[in-house]
């Protein structure tokens, strides 16, 4: 068992609902094992500047249900430089921090991987991103809440679509990944989905609109930000050009997808991996992300977690097509 006395805890990159539940789990588990926790504010930005706050049982009271992150988050270009990382290490040493737990996405773990290779500082990562685009976990913290938010919003849009006989193009988050679009497309009963991973989506959509059921009065198309044609406005323009008789509208869901109270699934996931992070550090793990695969805690080295190999299940794409007839 490794003797860790003080953990530095930070959130970094885009915020996601459930980060607070993870912070609470790390702090309380550490206290349980007699380890001190210092909160590092604004991710790597605060690490380079020594923006640290002591954390205790009380400092994580009443946060499990809150979205965002009480430690705040930021993007930090200085940490991308060797000098910036040296400043961060000097600050950690000055405050006698001997291990780190970082909550974030692939950028956060890329930084952690580089830092962990340069300095003798064990780091454990927790998957905090709404994108679900990390290897080594079935789900990331925030994804479940985000997709539920999207489905709720699309249900509301559907009321208007139905009442006015409209075709709605709804854009959801996902610059590189169509996972949010795919799940929510199925759950919201979309006519079609367009995602970055699958090419020729526009042709498929045109085909559906041309040859699909003619008696449908409303239609919902879910589009991921990073899809081939260039997002909802461009998709809308192309549809309007080809099918001027459709009353086409665009809705960009935007940042509402990141906020709000975390779902039960996200709170439980965050609590489990948060506790496991402290135990992993005690057991001598370092430079790994903790996730849950098939309901079991899983340890994945940072370099594998960030590989972007999360593949789209072709059966789910097919399902959208079958069910939207």
Question: Residue 264 and residue 214: Cα distance in Å, rounded?
Answer: 40
- Number of CB atoms found within 10 A of residue 93's CB: 12
Helical (H) or strand (E) element with 10: strand 6-11
Q: Kindly tell me which residue out of 63, 114, 151, 297 binds ligand ATP, with binding defined by CB under 6 A.
A: 114
Q: Does residue 310 contact residue 65 with C-beta atoms inside 8 Å?
A: no
| Minimum gap (Å) between residue 220 Cβ and ligand ATP | 26
| Tokens at 153, concatenated | 């919003």
Is residue 287 within the footprint of ligand ATP (CB under 6 A)? no
Active site residues: 131
DSSP state at residue 58 = G
Q: Kindly tell me which residue out of 17, 18, 68, 111 binds ligand ATP, with binding defined by CB under 6 A.
A: 111
Say whether 26 counts as a known binding-site residue: yes
| Minimum gap (Å) between residue 74 Cβ and ligand ATP | 7
| Minimum gap (Å) between residue 140 Cβ and ligand ATP | 9
By beta-carbon proximity to ligand ATP, the closer residue of 75 and 237 is 75
Q: Kindly tell me which residue out of 8, 68, 104, 201 binds ligand ATP, with binding defined by CB under 6 A.
A: 104
Binding mask 1-30 for ligand ATP (x = CB under 6 A): -----------xxx----------------
Say whether 46 counts as a known binding-site residue: no
121-150 residues near ligand ATP, rule: CB under 6 A: 129, 131
Question: Residue 198 and residue 111: Cα distance in Å, rounded?
Answer: 29
Say whether 225 counts as a known binding-site residue: yes
By beta-carbon proximity to ligand ATP, the closer residue of 131 and 197 is 131
What DSSP string runs through 120-182?
S--EEEEEB-TT---TT-SS-BTHHHHHHHHHHHHHHHHHHHHHHTEEEEEEES-SS--HHHH
Taking CA atoms, 261 is separated from 69, 188, 264, 268, in Å, by: 11, 21, 9, 13
In the complex, the residues that contact ligand ATP under the rule CB under 6 A are: 12-14, 44, 75-76, 79-80, 104-108, 110-111, 114, 129, 131
């Amino acid at each position: 068992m490794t003797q860790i006395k003080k953990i530095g805890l930070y959130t970094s990159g885009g915020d996601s609902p459930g980060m607070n539940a993870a912070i609470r789990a790390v702090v309380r588990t550490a206290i349980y094992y007699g380890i001190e926790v210092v909160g590092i504010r604004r991710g790597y930005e605060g690490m380079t500047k020594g923006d640290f706050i002591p954390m205790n049982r009380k400092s994580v009271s009443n946060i499990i249900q809150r979205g965002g992150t009480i430690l705040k988050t930021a993007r930090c270009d200085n940490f991308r430089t060797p000098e910036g990382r040296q400043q961060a290490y000097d600050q950690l040493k000055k405050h006698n921090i001997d291990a780190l737990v970082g909550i974030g996405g692939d950028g956060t773990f890329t930084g952690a991987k580089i830092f962990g290779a340069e300095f003798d500082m064990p780091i454990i990562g927790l998957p905090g991103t709404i994108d679900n685009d990390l290897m080594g976990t079935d789900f990331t913290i925030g994804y479940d809440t985000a997709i539920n938010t999207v489905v709720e919003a699309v249900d509301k849009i559907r009321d208007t679509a139905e009442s006015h006989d409209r075709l709605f193009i709804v854009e959801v988050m996902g610059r590189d990944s169509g996972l949010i679009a795919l799940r929510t497309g199925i759950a919201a009963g979309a006519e079609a989905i367009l995602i970055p991973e699958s090419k020729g989506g526009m042709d498929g959509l045109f085909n559906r609109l041309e040859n699909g059921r003619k008696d449908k009065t409303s239609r919902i198309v879910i589009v991921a930000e990073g899809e081939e044609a260039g997002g909802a406005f461009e998709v809308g323009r192309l549809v309007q050009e080809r099918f001027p008789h459709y009353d086409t509208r665009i809705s960009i869901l935007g940042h509402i997808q990141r906020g709000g109270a975390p779902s039960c699934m996200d709170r439980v996931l965050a609590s489990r991996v948060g506790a496991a992070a402290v135990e992993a550090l005690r057991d001598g793990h370092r430079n790994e992300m903790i996730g849950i695969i098939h309901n079991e805690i899983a340890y994945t080295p940072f370099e594998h977690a960030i590989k972007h190999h999360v593949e789209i299940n072709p059966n789910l794409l097919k399902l959208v097509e079958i069910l939207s007839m």
